């Protein structure tokens, strides 16, 4: 499986979208500071993920979710999470 995931920083609520084949390992790497892109934002919570059977589909989906339109779609999809206080924007 190929996973597209959304992380939220526990420090400043920064959002990060990524792609991996081993979701648990990848989240652990983010939390241990092994990713330069996310290291400065501290610990992360996994708040959303999607799974694909095809790698190209997963990469295409990740690319879309990183666009303004894709981020808006994610925020609408997770509306209750963001607007009920658990994950402020």
| DSSP conformation class of 2 | E
Mapped onto helix, strand or coil, the DSSP state of residue 15 is strand
Q: What is the pLDDT of residue 70?
A: 95
Q: What is the pLDDT of residue 89?
A: 46
Set out the domains of the chain in order of their start, with CATH numbers: 2-83 (3.40.1440)
Contact 89, 75 (CB under 8 A): yes
Q: For the whole model, what pTM was predicted?
A: 0.87
The predicted-structure confidence for 7-57, as pLDDT tens digits, reads as follows: 999 888 899 999 999 999 999 999 998 988 888 888 999 999 999 999 999
Please provide residue 8's backbone torsions phi and psi, each rounded to the nearest 5 degrees: -130, 130
């Amino acid at each position: 499986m190929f996973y597209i995931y959304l992380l939220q920083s526990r420090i400043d609520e920064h959002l990060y979208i990524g792609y991996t084949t081993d979701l648990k390992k990848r989240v652990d790497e983010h939390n241990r500071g092994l990713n330069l892109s996310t290291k400065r934002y501290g610990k992360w919570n996994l708040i959303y993920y999607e799974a694909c059977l095809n790698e190209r589909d997963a990469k295409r989906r990740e690319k879309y979710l990183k666009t303004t339109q894709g981020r808006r779609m994610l925020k609408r999809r997770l509306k209750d999470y963001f607007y009920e206080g658990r994950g402020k924007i």
